[in-house]
Structure formats: structure tokens, C-alpha cells
């Protein structure tokens, strides 16, 4: 099946640890995105990448880092500098023409700091 | 700056009732896109519709319909004869502009509960 796969589904992190969330797509889409969702709030953009080896900060990039070494993969690292990392994280990829304004989402990773 | 406002935080209806979810947006761009996504309890966002700024035609898809009005910067979503399976969080989103990076600006979401 084609789509976007996020892993793990649930992740627990101790204070002061870095953790990496995986996002893989087999849709051959160029652009990929990471969003954060907090309870009762909409999604906010963390980072995005429009092409391999290039990425830009979104609205809430502080405490996060990303890489885009392959078209299929866009991992997100939540560093110890992120003061409140407990949230639901969603990865997305932008479709290609004619659906090149539609974002396809993974099933999300729920991160909890313990 | 771009902004999306969904003023209704939660809506509760009884099955078979019609329900309208409101969405108001702000943008200075002349070219933009509006979306509705559904988020069931599983968490994944499910695409429902995309509308571009040059197409104000209303759209109907089964029990779903959308009313896009540029004059009031609104893109409202109506579910006719609601069903329990419609219970979810619904997000309105905006993207576009000259760069069209595909970034989405989301509203806060409206939680719809349909009771049997």
C-alpha cells in the first residue's frame, strides 16, 4: 500500500533525552512536513522540506531538528532543548500534480515525557 | 498574516440532524487553497475537500457539502443527516500564496459528537 508511515505510534521519553520520530513515504512526493498537535489546538508547523538535503523552519522549530538525506525519509528529532515535548506529532507529504496542493498525513506519533 | 478561525470548539447533535461547521480565514494572497480534514479517534487526518480561491462553486459529496464565500472569507462545511460515524475532530486549513510551499495553516478544530 502506498502511504506515509510514522513510527513508533507511542513514544516515551525521559527528561533530558533526545528522541527521533520516523516518517517514511513511498508516494514519491518531494515535499514533506512535520506538525505538532496539542489538545484542543490545531496543528502547528515544526519543519518542512521541499527537496532532498534542504529544509526550512516552521512556526515552532525551537527544540527540534530534522534531516532529509533521502526523498522517502524525513525524521524529526525532539531534543532536550524542547521544553514541553509531550504532544501528538504528524508527518505529511504534499501530493504531486494534479493533487499538488493536497497533503497526505501519517497516523501520527504520540510522544510523552515521563 | 494568514489565519484560520473555527469558532465552534465542540458541537453535539443527535443522529440524523444536519450540522454546519464554520470556518473563517484571513489572507492577503489572491491565490490560496482551503481544505477540510477529518481526524477520527485514530489520529490520522483524512482529506475531505480542497477548494482554490478562484472557484467559488459550492460542492456536494454525498451527505457533505461546502459553502465557499470569498465576500465573507468563509468556507463552511455541512453534514446532512449526521451519523455516529461522523463523530470526529474537523479541521479547516489554508495554504497558498506566491511561494506555495504547501504549508498548511490550521484552525483549532471543531469536535463533533453525533449521538445515537
Mean pLDDT across the stretch A47-59? 94
Mean pLDDT: which of A1-5, A101-105, B35-39 is highest? Answer: B35-39
Note whether B44 contacts A108, CB cutoff 8 Å: yes
DSSP letter string over A34-54? EEEE-TTS-EEEEEEEEETTE
Look at residue A15 in the predicted model and tell me its pLDDT: 86
Look at residue B69 in the predicted model and tell me its pLDDT: 94
Beta bridge partners of residue A64, listed in sequence order: A78
Look at residue B101 in the predicted model and tell me its pLDDT: 73
Look at residue A58 in the predicted model and tell me its pLDDT: 94
Confidence of residue A26 (pLDDT cuts 50, 70, 90): very high
Give the chain A residue whose CA is nearest to the CA of B110. A40
Res A39 pLDDT > 90: no
pLDDT tens, chain B, 116 aa long: 889 999 999 999 999 999 999 999 999 988 898 999 999 988 889 999 988 888 888 888 899 999 999 999 999 999 999 999 999 999 999 987 656 677 899 999 999 999 99
Mutate to test the interface with A, among B34, B36, B44 (most CBs of A within 10 A): B44
Give me A26's grid cell.
513511498
The whole-angstrom distance between A26's CA and the closest CA on chain B is: 17
Alpha-carbon gap, residue A55 to A48, rounded angstroms: 6
Look at residue A27 in the predicted model and tell me its pLDDT: 87
Higher pLDDT, A69 or B33: A69
Res A102 pLDDT > 90: no
DSSP letter string over chain B? --EEE---SEEEEETT--EEE--EEE---SSEEEEEEEE-TT---EEEEEEETT----EEETTEEEEEEGGGTEEEEEESS--GGG-EEEEEEEEESSS-----EE---EEEEEE-
Res A22 pLDDT > 80: yes
Note whether A88 contacts B43, CB cutoff 8 Å: yes
Note whether B106 contacts A44, CB cutoff 8 Å: yes
Which candidate, A94, A81, A80, A99, places its Cα nearest to that of A35? A94
Mean pLDDT across the stretch A30-40? 92
Alpha-carbon gap, residue A89 to B52, rounded angstroms: 27
Could you say which of A31, A102, A108 has the minimum Cβ distance to residue B47?
A: A102
- Residue A21 buriedness (CB in 10 A; 0-12 / 13-18 / 19+): buried
Amino acid at each position: 500500500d502506498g502511504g506515509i508511515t510514522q513510527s513508533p505510534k507511542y513514544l516515551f521519553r525521559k527528561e533530558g533525552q533526545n528522541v527521533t520520530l520516523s516518517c517514511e513515504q513511498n508516494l514519491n512526493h518531494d515535499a514533506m512536513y512535520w506538525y505538532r498537535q496539542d489538545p484542543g489546538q490545531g496543528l502547528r508547523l515544526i519543519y518542512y522540506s521541499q527537496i532532498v538535503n534542504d529544509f526550512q523552519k516552521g512556526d515552532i522549530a525551537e527544540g527540534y531538528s530534522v534531516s532529509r538525506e533521502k526523498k522517502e525519509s524525513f525524521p524529526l528529532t525532539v531534543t532536550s532543548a524542547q521544553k514541553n515535548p509531550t504532544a501528538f506529532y504528524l508527518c505529511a507529504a504534499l501530493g504531486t500534480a494534479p493533487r499538488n496542493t493536497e497533503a497526505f498525513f501519517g497516523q501520527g506519533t504520540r510522544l510523552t515525557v515521563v | 498574516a494568514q489565519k484560520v478561525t473555527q469558532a465552534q470548539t465542540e458541537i453535539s447533535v443527535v443522529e440524523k440532524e444536519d450540522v454546519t461547521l464554520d470556518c473563517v480565514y484571513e489572507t492577503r494572497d489572491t491565490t490560496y487553497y482551503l481544505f477540510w480534514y477529518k481526524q477520527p479517534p485514530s489520529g490520522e487526518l483524512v482529506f475531505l475537500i480542497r477548494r482554490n480561491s478562484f472557484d467559488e462553486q459550492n460542492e456536494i459529496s454525498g451527505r457533505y457539502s461546502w459553502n465557499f464565500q470569498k465576500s465573507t472569507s468563509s468556507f463552511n462545511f455541512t453534514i446532512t443527516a449526521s451519523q455516529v460515524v461522523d463523530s470526529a475532530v474537523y479541521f479547516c486549513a489554508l495554504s497558498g500564496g506566491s511561494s506555495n510551499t504547501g504549508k498548511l495553516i490550521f484552525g483549532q478544530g471543531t469536535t463533533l459528537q453525533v449521538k445515537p
